[in-house]
Homo-oligomer: A and B are copies of this chain.
Amino acid sequence: MGKAQSRQIRGCRATGMREAALLLLLHREPAHGYTLLEQLKEFGLREISSSVIYRALRDMEARGWVASMWDEEQTQGPPRRVYCITNLGGQVLALWVQDLEESRKRIDYLLRAYDRHVEKRKNGHH
């Protein structure tokens, strides 16, 4: 399929949703990547593959937003990491939240502009 056709409309997510959701979950309580993978569904983020989550977690750790250690209690499977949010991570979460608020405003504006425009058309103001 050519380059021109490649971009599809597909569940347009706000950039930053993933990070914000992860940080929020970890702000509630420490968790493992595998658990977070499940919990993210709460936020309606469409299927995110596991490797993406794990990578996001490692990146956030490199930035100091979260910290991790291997879990001691052994469970049904190989050892797993527990991630905790850091103080910095909490602050960053607050920033993401502010950004999302602005995003929402912009989306609102566009949607209203669209409605107004469609409305006008219906009323015959070609």
Min Cβ gap A33→B in Å is 18
Verify if A17 is at the interface (C-beta below 8 Å from B).
Answer: yes
A96-B9 contact in complex given A14-B14, A15-B14, A110-B21, C-beta closer than 8 Å:
yes
Q: How many copies does the complex hold?
A: 2
How far does the alpha carbon of A28 sit from the alpha carbon of B63 in the complex, in Å?
44
With A7-B59, A12-B15, A15-B14 known as contacts, the answer to whether A110 contacts B106 (CB < 8 A) is no
Given contacts A59-B7, A117-B24, A117-B27, contact A12 B96 (CB under 8 A): yes
* Chain A residues packing against B (C-beta within 8 Å): 2-5, 7, 9, 11-17, 20-21, 24, 27-28, 42-45, 59, 62-63, 92-93, 95-97, 99-111, 113-114, 117
